[in-house]
Amino acid sequence: MTEKDSQLMDAAKKLEASFLSEMLKSAGFGQTPESFGGGAGEDQFSSFLVSAQADAMVEGGGIGLAQSFFDALKEAQK
């Protein structure tokens, strides 16, 4: 893999992580349950938890979007 390909794959992984982060937020991941009130601090830092989880999912193989994004970016360069 060339340096340019490596940069494209990094960008593709960031796009997939961003997508997964939004999906996790929509699914309610990181929201404070009613029975455990963590206050404003917990609400503010929950986005970091969701982002970290999405990054971990991508590093673990993700859902295949990174490869699709990479292929599309590679094709767009031609």
| Other beta carbons less than 10 A from residue 61's beta carbon | 8
- Burial of residue 73 (number of CB atoms within 10 Å: 0-12, 13-18, 19+): middle
Check residue 1 and give its pLDDT. 79
- Predicted structure pTM score: 0.80
Amino acid present at 31: Q
Where is pLDDT greater, at 2 or 40? 2
Is the Cβ–Cβ distance between 70 and 8 less than 8 Å? yes
State pLDDT tens for residues 28-68. Answer: 876 766 656 666 677 678 888 899 999 999 999 999 999 99
Our count of domains for the chain comes to: 1
Q: Is the pLDDT of residue 24 over 80?
A: yes
Q: Is the pLDDT of residue 27 over 60?
A: yes
The residue range of the domain holding 24 is 3-30+39-77
What are the angstrom distances between the C-alpha of 2 and each of 6, 8, 14, 23? 6, 10, 18, 31
